[in-house]
Amino acid sequence: MTELLVDTHIHTHYSDGLAGVPRIERYCCNRELGVAVTDHNEIRGSTIIYERERAPVIPAIEVGTEEGIDLLVYFASAELLEEFFIKAIEPKLRSRFMVRSWVRSIDCMHSAREMGAYISLAHPFALGRKSLEYQHGRRGQPFVATILEGIDAIELHNGGVHREANRKASEYAATCGKRLTVGSDSHRLRTIGSSGTFLATSGKPTSGKLFESLKTSDKLRFKVRGSASAVTLPLLGIIALKHTHHFVRASRKKPRR
């Protein structure tokens, strides 16, 4: 039995990341890394890297819900991911907003769980609507309790949020009784694998084996490094431009009749 470091939260150019699948594959293979491509409300990057079978992967998506909560949803195969996306996410997409949808958190969790998914709450103390603190103040403790009941894990550390948010997540993780994931939330090539989850696997690290390890391993180890305080302004500017381009392009489309 060996362990493979898997970055369980990265983005490609199919959402607001900068790198394409071939570059990510080469980067991971050269460094013996696995990844879960978790593009915002988008599965093309995840399904393509799965189908090419060149790097160890876990099929996944980051669902931006109507309430603002972001859910990382993992599957054992790309076929299940695609079925989930077509059934539960695609009909509820907002064309102008990359990271937001009309999908209610409870409906997303219910559909994902029906299909055997593993669900982790992304960056639980990030700024604004993504934060449990915001949701507690806006919708109350019953809503937060419903979220916690429906997820399998919380993201202990996210390389894309400020260190204070990660500190709160770490303290919360010690008391919430949930399993944990760690990911870089990387939007560029060189930070992939800066944070991640070590997953046990025997033989070739297939998606099914890595998924089961993420879901069932009793004692997971993590690599924790980096925070948003290290993210450069040019990178933030590029990401903002990608979101703006997505919004403008969708706004120019003729409405369906």
Would the pLDDT of 234 be above 80?
no
Calculate the CA dihedral of residues 56, 59, 65, 68 and round it to 10 degrees: -10
Query: Rounded to whole angstroms, how far apart are CA atoms 187 and 168?
Result: 23
Whether 229 contacts 36, CB under 8 Å: no
Higher pLDDT, 245 or 63: 63
Q: What confidence tens digit (pLDDT) does each residue in 91-112 have? A: 999 987 778 899 999 999 999 9
- Give the residues across from 37 on adjacent strands: 10
Label residue 216 by pLDDT band (50, 70, 90). very high
Question: In the CATH hierarchy, which fold is given to the domain comprising 2-252?
Answer: TIM Barrel (3.20.20)
φ and ψ at residue 182, rounded to 5 degrees? -135, 130
Q: What is the pLDDT of residue 229?
A: 47
Q: For residue range 149-171, what is the model confidence (pLDDT) as tens digits?
A: 999 999 999 998 999 999 999 99
Q: What is the pLDDT of residue 95?
A: 81
More confident site: 203 or 122: 122
Mean pLDDT, residues 50-73 taken together: 97
Q: Please, what is the average pLDDT of the chain? A: 91
Amino acid 10: pLDDT: 97
- DSSP E strands: which ranges in the chain? 2-10, 33-37, 60-64, 70-74, 118-121, 153-158, 179-183, 196-201, 221-223
pLDDT digits (tens, 9 = 90+) for 235-245: 667 667 776 76
What pLDDT does 178 receive? 96
Lowest average pLDDT, out of 67-71, 95-99, 226-230, goes to 226-230
Distance of CA 195 to the CA centre of its chain: 13
- pLDDT, one tens digit per residue, over 164-197 is 999 999 999 999 999 999 999 999 999 999 999 9
Amino acid at 147: I
- The residue ranges of every structural domain in the chain are 2-252
One-letter identity of residue 255: P
Distance between CA atoms of residues 45 and 47, nearest Å:
6
List phi, psi (to 5°) of 32.
55, 55
**At residue 233, does pLDDT exceed 70?**
no
pTM of the model: 0.92
